[in-house]
Structure 1
Amino acid sequence: MIKETNFKGIFELRKGKKKLLLTKNLVPGVSVYGEKLIKDNNIEYREWNPNKSKLAAAILKGIHQINLKPDTVVLYLGASTGTTASHVSDILGKGGFVFALDSAPRVVRELVFLCEQRPNMAPLLADANQPDTYKDKITQVDWLYQDIAQKNQVDIFLKNIALFLKQGHFALLAVKARSIDVTKEPSVIFDEVQKKLEKAVIIADKVLLNPYQKDHCLFVCKKR
């Protein structure tokens, strides 16, 4: 039986000991990255794969809050081909909107095709490290998500929060330890990231993403 989780717009289906995460498909009949489509009571859901989505991994690892709500506006930094962004689009529904940003032209070409199918998504080819270059293209946002494997990923995150996130709202940072420093233990990197974040934002929650995503941690932050 499919039931809604504690997070609005995110559903679960238990198969024995296994728990599948699902979102309601905004575009019925269309699979984005080869995920299974499941019908129940005339509603179509998309299976959300935690091995391909750090946000799904964090939810299955028991994160307590993500603060993503339907009918809100989102800035997604590092959207790639739109795997996780498409599930965010499902959660927001037709009353919400996702600005999906990536710096790789090849990837953004695929994003364009995805956004053509999804009325609540817009692709943006831009460098997240230079938010001034796209500040005239997007609005203030209710929620921000970043998944960028760069050495200065924390600086990028904080710059975008300062410019675009509404006060008192939430931003999530998926940290890939090996992108920051391959010589240090991931746990040391995560401690350093936490100290840097705490100087600028409130950390509401964090969770390690193994075994789904090795050497990754997701931080949930609130803008002061």
Structure 2
Amino acid sequence: MYGEPTADGWRAWDPGRSKLGGMFELGFQTGLSGGETVLYLGAASGTTVSHVADFAGPTYAVEFAPRPARDLVEAAEPRDRLFPLLKDARTPTRYAHVVESDVDAIVQDVATRGQAEVAVRNARFLADDGRLLLAIKARSEDVTAAPEAVFESALDRLREAYEILETRRLDRFHEDHLGVVATPK
């Protein structure tokens, strides 16, 4: 896919192109080891979500924009566990009839204002012991605000629905991004 190098049948996962890949590289405790059911919010053209679907169980890939969704559909074609959904992650009621409840992980990589609100609205799908793996993009929230202020505001909103287990800046790979691992309250 996309000309990525492979080794032993696995595609190389570039942490500079994937916030989740950066979280793995930085040692976040994602709880992902293989076979999990995943809801992926902000799937874009399918690069990272296709990596996830290569080792996870059923992987529901939500993408709002039609152009990247076309590439996502192509990425899903050879993967029987990857289910692309042309939907808006801000309105989970529009895909609730498709996504199974009690998913093991929600991976969120959306570039919009209200990223914490998106996570809270989608918490309904997460199993009690599931994990939210979120990349908060400060510049998508407010390009004029200090990233730390943006992160604190987002974390305050997340704490209403989640217990925050781990946070760390992803600046080594993605400037002004905060990785978050959380579990539902």
TM-score (norm 2): 0.95
Match of 2:39 in 1: 75
CA distance in 2, matches of 1:73, 1:62: 21
State the partner residue of 1:91: 55
- Segments of structure 2 that go 5 or more residues without pairing to the other structure are none
Distance 1:62 1:142 in 2: 19
Give the number of the structure with larger relative contact order, counting CA–CA contacts within 8 Å between residues 6 or more apart.
Answer: 2
1:122 Cα shift?
0.8
Pairing 1:1-224 to 2, within 5 Å after superposition: 32-38=1-7, 43-63=8-28, 65-92=29-56, 96-140=57-101, 141-161=103-123, 163-224=124-185
Amino acid at match of 1:170: R
Q: Structure 1, unaligned stretches of length 5 or more? A: 1-31
Question: Could you tell me the percent identity over the aligned residues?
Answer: 38
Partner Cα separation in structure 1 for residue 108 and residue 145 of structure 2: 22
For residues 72 and 182 of structure 1, the distance between their equivalents in structure 2, rounded to whole angstroms, comes to 35
Bigger proportion of residues as strand: 1
Instruction: Give the aligned CA root-mean-square deviation in angstroms.
Output: 1.2
Cα deviations by residue, 1:2-61 (Å, 9 ceiling, x for unpaired): xxxxxxxxxxxxxxxxxxxxxxxxxxxxxx2221112xxxx3221110110011112222
CA distance in 2, matches of 1:215, 1:97: 31
Residue 220 of structure 1 aligns to a residue whose secondary structure is strand
Q: Secondary structure at the match of 1:117?
A: coil
- One-letter identity of the residue aligned with 1:90: D
Equivalent pairs counted in the alignment come to 184
Q: In the alignment, is the contact (CA less than 8 A) between 1:172 and 1:218 conserved in 2?
A: yes
Matches of 1:136 and 1:113, distance apart in 2: 23
Cα deviation, residue 190, structure 1 = 1.1
Give the superposition deviation at 1:145.
Answer: 0.7
Moved beyond 3 Å, runs of 4+: none
TM-score, normalising length from structure 1? Answer: 0.79
Q: Distance in 1 between matches of 2:59 and 2:19?
A: 17
SS, match of residue 149 in structure 2: helix
Give the deviation of 1:112 after TM superposition.
Answer: 1.1
Q: Distance in 2 between matches of 1:73 and 1:59?
A: 18
